[in-house]
Structures are given as structure tokens and as C-alpha cells.
């Protein structure tokens, strides 16, 4: 008797046999920018689609001389296919694309992938997803899940019951790629083992094509997820690997409501734009993710409302250059007042020609933050060039926009920054940091750094260390430079810093980062108002303690299951600290997941805080309490007695969430 899974496989194979032919696409395509000229090519639509059959093998994966044919749908020009070729040792894009199939032979009989017309290709087949890399990949996975479920597939809880396994990845860092290779080797063993008939199809989705030893059945670029159900059917029908690596000028998946991986979580991410126009010389993103394109504002606001209704309390807006958001749809143009269109300061510039018009990030953030005053809003990953003063004032004035800013510096040397094509000097960066800290007091800053970039001297390295000492970040992501195929640095600059020197410099900056972070965290210990913490769960190390995230994004581990029901109640009842209704058990409430809790911090390392919970609160109440403290109307928190303040509850008569003036 067939097992349920075997039935599904038989059914799926029977089904896909009716879908012979090669899929094509109706997407509008644009090749990624290849020079230092304007890469904002949104008007530079190009319909030069190509479908090629290539034969590829891999040079870094375990070698198997048998080669697997692939059907590849890709753009002309440098593309994901180039990265496949560079990895696998096959000829460059120009030659592979010259082997394009005759379009008449690639025309599908009836399966253009964008017009599925409700066809249920999946028929209950199950897929399993493994995500490698950053939050963008997690968000892409949620889009993938929506597409797959919409096509009649369902998500498997584990690999054993899956008909298809997807590895969602990116090629920005070398180690993400290495992890994928290792995983493919595992899957290969499964495919060659005694249960090979039950081995799932393997799909690699994301920024880089991978093909290894007949392992990968499907490869899909980040703009082609809609085609995945049909690509799967093609792979089954033809018994060939199939890839759609086309980049799009306009794909934002705005009409797809992502299926959240953790629907019970109080945190969520929302993609507002995709791609990048910046062409930093070390980075593959403009090639693998294409040019910048933003979702229309109404689709974003609708999704934010839905997430609010689902109880989300901590929302992160996502984009490769999230603060370069520019909605040029009809709504974006009509709703825009033109606020926030300028660069951070005159020391910043762009490699591409900036365009006027449309709604910018500042206005979007204003609208998003007004939807639910009890939902925190963060955003990542921004570029330092796009922090106009209006954006900073908005952040400072709106209690639910977190005072947390990622400011990827990459280097502290102006000479290296120039080679990296970052568009700013160290002086411009310092000026921006000063501006941010003066307008958004208490802001937590984080950054990215690369050590050992092409031509980096000891003097350059000293400049980076100096910048890190002066700024003192709360969080940093630090890497050694690794050459990425197809980038400007990969083609034109020499990767001439020895690995041991890169490593030593990396260790230098890691040490400096930790010292700076510890300084900043210690300065926050025992803040008069405490920290407003969203309760996320129990501490992994000590289940009797809670862990949550503060406004600045850092983790706080804290004690006490029972807290006062509100800050206001502590002010009303308090007549002097512990044992007077404040420190005692009477009237206290149990902390729950998803609560905001006022926590007084007691100690810190360079990565987290320890503290003690005082009262359940809300963003609005906590913000008002901070204001009163600043005015001197109330006293400060005490680490030993809890809240020790005069009764000023009437002053905490918390009104609605006012719409704030975001001009300086
Ligand atoms: S701005 Fe960021 S994503 Fe864009 S090219 Fe530079 S490093 Fe890459």
C-alpha cells in the first residue's frame, strides 16, 4: 500500500505530466547596472529575456564528473547566471546566453507562470524550507510560503515528510554560501542512500545560483518566486534542473500577503522595497537583487493594519536600502508632501542620479507609525546617505518609532570609503552621527565594518579603529573582506591584504567594538525611567527569568513574574517604595508574553542587560512618564525599592496618540 507521502508523489508526478513545455515570463526585465553611471534604471525597461540550456558543474563542491543540464531563464548582462558560471567554472554569461533556446521552443503550451488562473499545481505536495542568512531571506521565505500554499502545496513540519526542500540563501557573505554547500552535501547523501526514492526535490532560492552533482532541481532568483510552482512541474516533467534568474524592474510582491513563519510571535517584518542602486564596489546585491523599487504606500499601510490586528507589537520595515524608499505610484505621488527628499548632509552623494518626486521614507514612516501607537516600528537596513533631518525629528518625536539606527560605515578611512564607492567621507559620517545623537537622544547606533578591503593600509585601519572609538556603537557586524565575483572590486581591484592581516585587523575592531558597547551600555544602567521592554520569553540560560527587547533593540534579562499593573498605579498607590503597595505583592499582576514592562536595569555587559521588572506599561504611558521625569515632575526609579515617586497619576492622564509635527 502506498504511504500518504508516496501517494502525494504519485499524484504530483501524474499531475505534472500534463504540464509539459517550458515556462517563460511576462515580467518586465531590466539588466542590473554595470557601470558607475546612473543605475536607477527604473525607466530602462528591457525585455531581452533569454532562456538557455547550460551544462554546469561546480568547482568548490565535491566533484562529480556527471553534469546536469539546466534550463535557465535569465536576463542578459551580468546576472545571477554569471555567479553560477563563476562558481561552477562554466563559460561567462555572454557565451551561455548566446546559447539561448529558440523562443518558439520555450513557449509554453499553456503554462505562462504569471497566469496560473487558480490552477492547483501542488495537489497537497509538501515543501520544507531552510533559511540561511539575514531577515530579508526570512521575509522572502514568507512570500514563498504564500505562493506555494496558493498553488496547492502545504508546508511540511520536517524534512522527512517533504516532497520538496527549499534552501533560501544569499551570497552576500562567503560563509552563508559555505553553509549551503555543506547542506547540499548532506542532501546528496540522502539522495544516494537507501531511501533515495523518498528523497525530496531540492530548490535553492535567493541571491546566488548553486548547482552541484545533480543535487539542485530548481534555482530561483529573488524576483521570480511566482514562477516556482511551474518551475517545479518543469523539473519533474523534463527531469532536468530548471532555473529562473530573471531580475525585474518592478517586482515587489506587494499583492502577496506573506505567511508568517511564526504567527504567534509579537514581532514581524515587512518588506517595503527591494534592490539597490548604490553599486558599492564590494557588494553583489545590485547584481543579485536588481535595482531599487518600492512598494506602493497603500499596500504597505494595509499590511501594517493587518499585522496590528494580529497583535504584532514590534514591526521592522525591511529593504536593502530601506530609507531610500520612494513610492512613485499614483498614491505615492498624490499623498506626498515632498518631505525628506534630501540627503543626510552635504558630505553625502550618490553614484547614480537621484530622482525627484514620490513619497519618501520619512513620510511613509510617519504614516506607518500612526496606525497603532502601541506597535513599535524599526527599520533595516538603511544607507547613511538617506537620513534627512526631518526623518530624525520624526524619530525623536514619535514614541513608537524606536530610537535605534543602523549606520553601516564599512570603514573609517576616507580613502577606503572612496574605493568602496560609499559616497561619503569619514567627516561626513561623523557629522551625521553628531546630528543623530543631538536630535534623537539615547539613540542606539549599530554599524557594519569590513577589514582588509583592497589596498587598505595600516593607516586606513587606524582610521577605522579611531572612528569606532569615537562613535561607540551599541551593536556591530564585522567581517573580513572576501572578494565577490562580478563586483567592481572583484573585477578591478586587487585583493591584496593578506588573510592573516585581515584577521588581525578584524580582531582589533572586535575588541574596540566590545569596549565601546560596554561603555554605552553601562551608561544606561539605572536610567531614571528604566527601560520599556517587550516581553519575548523565558531566558534560555535561566527559565525562571524573562527576556525581552528594549526600545534600542538590545536584550534585557530580568526578574520578577509579578509586577504592578501600570506605572500610573505605582504612582497612585505609592507612599514610599517597597512594602507600601509598590514593593509588596498586593495588587500585582503576572507578566505575560507580549506585555510591555518597565524594567530598571542593574548591570550590563557589551551585549545585554540584567534588570528587575517594576510595572506593566504601554508605549504611550512609558513615554509620558519619561517626559514627566525630564520635567522633574516625578522622581526616579530605585533599584532597591522599586518606584519611589510622588503621586502624580493625574499628570499621566494619557491622551490619544497625537499626530506630531515632523518638521525640525
Ligand atoms: S548600499 Fe548596501 S546593498 Fe547596496 S551596494 Fe552598498 S553594501 Fe550593497
Note whether 562 and 629 are within 8 A (CB).
Answer: no
Distance of CA 23 to the CA centre of its chain: 30
Query: Which residue would you say has higher pLDDT here, 422 or 47?
Result: 422
Within 13 Å and on the Cβ side, how many CA atoms surround 533?
A: 31
State the distance from the centre of ligand 1 to the C-alpha of 421, rounded, in angstroms: 10
Q: Whose CA is nearest to atom 6 of ligand 1?
A: 280
| Mean pLDDT along residues 583-588 | 67
According to the model, what pLDDT value does residue 620 have?
Answer: 96
| Mean pLDDT along residues 434-449 | 97
Query: Which residue would you say has higher pLDDT here, 543 or 653?
Result: 543
Q: CATH: 3.30.750.210, 3.40.50.300, 3.90.950.10, 3.30.70.360. Which one for 265-402?
A: 3.30.750.210
Note whether 591 and 597 are within 8 A (CB).
Answer: yes
DSSP state of 118: T
Whether pLDDT at 567 is above 50: yes
**CA torsion through residues 505, 510, 512, 513, sign:** positive
> Among 281, 329, 272, 322, which Cα is nearest to 301's?
272
Which segments of the chain belong to CATH 3.30.750.210?
A: 265-402
Alpha carbon separation from 180 to 94, 171, 352 (Å, rounded): 27, 10, 33
In the chain, the percentage of residues whose pLDDT exceeds 90 is 56
pLDDT band at residue 5 using 50, 70 and 90 as cut-offs: low
Note whether 149 and 259 are within 8 A (CB).
Answer: yes
Atom of ligand 1 nearest to the CA of 448: 7
Range with the poorest average pLDDT among 30-34, 396-400, 536-540, 552-556: 30-34
For the stretch 25-58, pLDDT in tens is 222 223 333 333 333 333 333 333 333 333 333 3
Whether pLDDT at 246 is above 50: yes
> Among 345, 352, 299, 347, which Cα is nearest to 321's?
352
pLDDT band at residue 552 using 50, 70 and 90 as cut-offs: very high
How many whole angstroms separate alpha carbon 575 and alpha carbon 203? 64
Note whether 606 and 554 are within 8 A (CB).
Answer: no
**Residues β-bridged to residue 611:** 558, 601
With a CB cutoff of 8 Å and minimum separation 6, the contacts of 625 are 529, 567, 598, 617, 634, 652
State the distance from the centre of ligand 1 to the C-alpha of 217, rounded, in angstroms: 30
Which segments of the chain belong to CATH 2.40.50?
A: 531-652
State the distance from the centre of ligand 1 to the C-alpha of 271, rounded, in angstroms: 16
**CA torsion through residues 292, 296, 301, 303, sign:** negative
Q: Whose CA is nearest to atom 1 of ligand 1?
A: 278
| Mean pLDDT along residues 237-241 | 80
For the stretch 66-114, pLDDT in tens is 555 566 666 544 444 444 444 444 443 333 333 333 322 333 333 444 3
How many whole angstroms separate alpha carbon 206 and alpha carbon 136? 10
| Ligand 1 binding pocket, CB closer than 6 Å | 276, 278-280, 283, 285-286, 320-321, 383
Grid look-up 561603555 returns 519
According to the model, what pLDDT value does residue 618 have?
Answer: 97
**Quick one: 526 exposed, middle or buried, by C-beta within 10 A (0-12, 13-18, 19+)?**
middle
List alpha helices for 409-457, DSSP H: 414-420, 426-439
C-alpha cell at 570: 505605582
pLDDT band at residue 180 using 50, 70 and 90 as cut-offs: confident
| Mean pLDDT along residues 261-275 | 95
How many whole angstroms separate alpha carbon 554 and alpha carbon 599? 13
Query: Which residue would you say has higher pLDDT here, 57 or 260?
Result: 260
From 207, 276, 318, the mutation candidate for ligand 1 (largest count of ligand atoms within 8 A of CB) is: 276
In 423-472, at which residue ranges do the beta strands (DSSP E only) sit? Answer: 444-451
pTM (whole model) above 0.85: no
Atom of ligand 1 nearest to the CA of 381: 2
Range with the poorest average pLDDT among 239-248, 503-512, 606-615: 239-248
Architecture of the domain defined by 403-522:
2-Layer Sandwich (3.30)
For the stretch 193-233, pLDDT in tens is 777 777 888 888 875 555 555 678 888 889 999 989 888 88
Alpha carbon separation from 25 to 74, 228, 382 (Å, rounded): 10, 12, 31
Q: What SS3 class is residue 622?
A: helix
pLDDT band at residue 192 using 50, 70 and 90 as cut-offs: confident
According to the model, what pLDDT value does residue 214 have?
Answer: 62
For the stretch 124-172, pLDDT in tens is 789 999 998 788 889 999 999 999 998 889 999 999 899 999 999 876 6
pLDDT band at residue 265 using 50, 70 and 90 as cut-offs: very high
Q: Whose CA is nearest to atom 8 of ligand 1?
A: 283
Does the domain at residues 531-652 carry the CATH identifier 2.40.50? yes
According to the model, what pLDDT value does residue 424 have?
Answer: 98
How many whole angstroms separate alpha carbon 611 and alpha carbon 545? 10
**Residues β-bridged to residue 451:** 480
How many whole angstroms separate alpha carbon 386 and alpha carbon 181? 36
Grid look-up 525530496 returns 200
Q: Exposure string (b/e) for 488-503, b if CB count within 10 Å is 16 or more?
A: bbbeebebebeeebbe
State the distance from the centre of ligand 1 to the C-alpha of 32, rounded, in angstroms: 13
pLDDT band at residue 188 using 50, 70 and 90 as cut-offs: confident
According to the model, what pLDDT value does residue 247 have?
Answer: 87
**Residues β-bridged to residue 315:** 268, 377
State the distance from the centre of ligand 1 to the C-alpha of 278, rounded, in angstroms: 6
Whether pLDDT at 422 is above 50: yes
From 286, 291, 323, 420, the mutation candidate for ligand 1 (largest count of ligand atoms within 8 A of CB) is: 286
State the distance from the centre of ligand 1 to the C-alpha of 424, rounded, in angstroms: 13
Atom of ligand 1 nearest to the CA of 286: 5
Whether pLDDT at 278 is above 60: yes
DSSP state of 132: -
Whether pLDDT at 559 is above 50: yes
Amino acid at each position: 500500500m502506498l504511504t500518504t507521502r508516496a501517494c502525494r508523489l504519485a499524484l504530483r508526478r501524474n499531475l505534472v505530466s500534463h504540464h509539459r513545455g517550458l515556462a517563460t515570463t511576462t515580467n518586465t526585465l531590466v539588466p542590473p547596472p554595470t557601470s558607475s553611471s546612473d543605475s536607477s534604471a527604473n525607466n530602462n525597461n528591457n525585455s531581452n529575456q533569454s532562456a538557455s540550456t547550460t551544462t554546469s558543474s561546480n568547482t568548490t563542491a565535491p566533484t562529480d564528473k556527471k553534469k546536469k543540464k539546466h534550463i535557465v531563464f535569465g536576463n542578459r548582462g551580468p546576472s545571477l547566471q554569471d555567479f553560477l558560471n563563476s562558481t561552477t567554472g562554466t563559460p561567462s554569461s555572454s557565451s551561455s546566453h548566446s546559447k539561448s533556446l529558440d523562443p518558439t521552443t520555450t513557449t509554453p503550451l499553456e503554462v505562462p507562470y504569471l497566469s496560473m488562473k487558480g490552477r492547483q499545481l501542488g495537489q497537497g505536495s509538501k515543501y520544507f524550507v531552510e533559511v540561511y542568512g539575514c531577515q530579508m531571506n526570512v521575509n522572502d521565505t514568507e512570500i514563498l510560503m504564500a505562493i506555494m500554499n496558493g498553488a496547492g502545496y502545504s508546508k511540511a513540519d520536517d524534512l522527512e515528510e517533504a516532497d520538496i526542500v527549499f534552501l533560501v540563501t544569499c551570497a552576500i557573505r562567503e560563509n552563508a554560501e559555505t553553509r549551503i554547500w555543506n547542506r547540499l552535501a548532506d542532501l546528496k547523501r540522502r539522495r544516494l542512500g537507501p531511501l533515495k526514492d523518498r528523497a525530496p526535490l531540492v530548490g535553492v532560492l535567493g541571491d546566488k545560483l548553486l548547482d552541484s552533482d545533480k543535487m539542485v532541481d530548481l534555482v530561483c532568483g529573488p524576483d521570480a518566486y511566482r514562477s516556482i510552482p511551474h518551475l517545479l512541474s518543469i523539473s519533474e516533467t523534463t527531469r532536468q534542473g530548471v532555473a529562473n534568474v530573471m531580475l525585474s524592474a518592478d517586482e515587489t510582491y506587494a499583492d502577496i500577503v506573506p505567511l508568517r513563519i511564526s504567527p504567534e510571535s509579537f514581532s514581524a517584518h515587512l518588506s517595503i522595497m527591494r534592490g539597490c542602486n548604490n553599486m558599492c564596489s564590494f557588494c553583489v546585491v545590485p547584481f543579485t537583487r536588481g535595482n531599487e523599487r518600492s512598494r506602493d504606500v497603500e499596500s504597505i499601510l494595509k499590511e501594517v493594519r493587518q499585522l496590528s490586528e494580529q497583535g504584532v507589537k514590534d514591526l521592522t520595515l525591511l529593504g536593502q536600502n530601506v530609507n531610500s524608499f520612494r513610492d512613485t505610484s499614483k498614491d505615492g505621488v498624490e499623498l506626498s508632501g515632498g518631505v525628506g527628499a534630501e540627503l543626510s548632509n552635504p558630505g553625502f552623494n550618490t553614484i547614480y542620479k537621484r530622482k525627484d518626486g514620490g513619497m519618501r521614507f520619512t513620510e511613509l514612516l510617519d504614516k506607518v507609525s500612526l496606525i497603532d501607537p502601541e506597535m513599535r516600528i524599526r527599520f533595516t537596513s538603511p544607507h547613511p546617505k538617506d537620513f534627512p533631518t526631518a526623518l530624525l525629528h520624526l524619530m525623536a518625536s514619535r514614541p513608537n518609532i524606536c530610537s535605534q539606527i543602523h549606520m553601516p560605515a564599512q570603514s573609517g578611512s576616507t580613502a577606503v570609503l572612496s574605493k568602496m564607492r560609499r559616497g561619503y567621507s569619514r567627516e561626513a559620517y561623523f557629522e551625521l552621527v553628531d546630528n543623530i545623537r543631538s536630535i534623537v537622544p539615547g539613540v542606539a547606533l549599530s554599524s557594519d565594518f569590513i577589514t582588509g578591503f583592497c589596498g587598505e593600509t595600516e593607516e586606513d585601519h587606524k582610521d577605522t579603529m579611531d572612528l569606532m572609538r569615537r562613535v561607540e556603537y551599541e551593536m556591530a557586524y564585522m567581517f573580513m573582506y572576501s572578494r565577490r565575483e562580478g563586483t567592481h572590486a572583484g573585477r578591478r581591484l586587487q585583493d591584496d591584504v593578506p588573510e592573516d592581516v585581515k584577521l588581525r585587523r578584524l580582531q582589533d575592531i572586535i575588541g574596540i567594538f566590545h569596549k565601546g558597547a560596554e561603555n554605552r551600555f553601562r551608561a544606561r544602567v539605572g536610567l531614571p525611567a528604566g527601560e520599556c521592554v517587550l516581553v519575548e520569553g523565558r531566558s534560555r540560560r535561566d527559565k525562571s527569568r524573562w527576556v525581552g527587547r528594549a526600545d534600542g533593540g538590545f536584550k534585557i534579562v530580568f526578574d520578577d513574574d509579578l509586577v504592578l499593573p501600570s506605572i500610573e498605579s505605582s504612582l497612585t498607590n505609592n507612599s514610599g517604595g517597597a512594602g507600601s503597595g509598590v514593593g509588596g505583592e498586593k495588587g500585582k499582576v503576572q507578566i505575560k508574553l507580549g506585555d510591555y514592562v518597565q524594567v530598571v536595569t542593574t548591570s550590563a555587559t557589551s551585549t545585554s542587560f540584567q534588570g528587575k521588572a517594576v510595572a506593566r506599561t504601554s508605549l504611550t504611558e512609558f513615554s509620558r512618564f519619561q517626559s514627566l521625569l525630564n520635567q522633574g515632575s516625578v522622581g526616579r526609579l530605585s533599584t532597591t525599592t522599586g518606584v519611589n515617586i510622588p503621586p502624580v497619576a493625574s499628570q499621566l492622564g494619557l491622551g490619544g496618540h497625537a499626530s506630531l509635527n515632523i518638521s525640525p
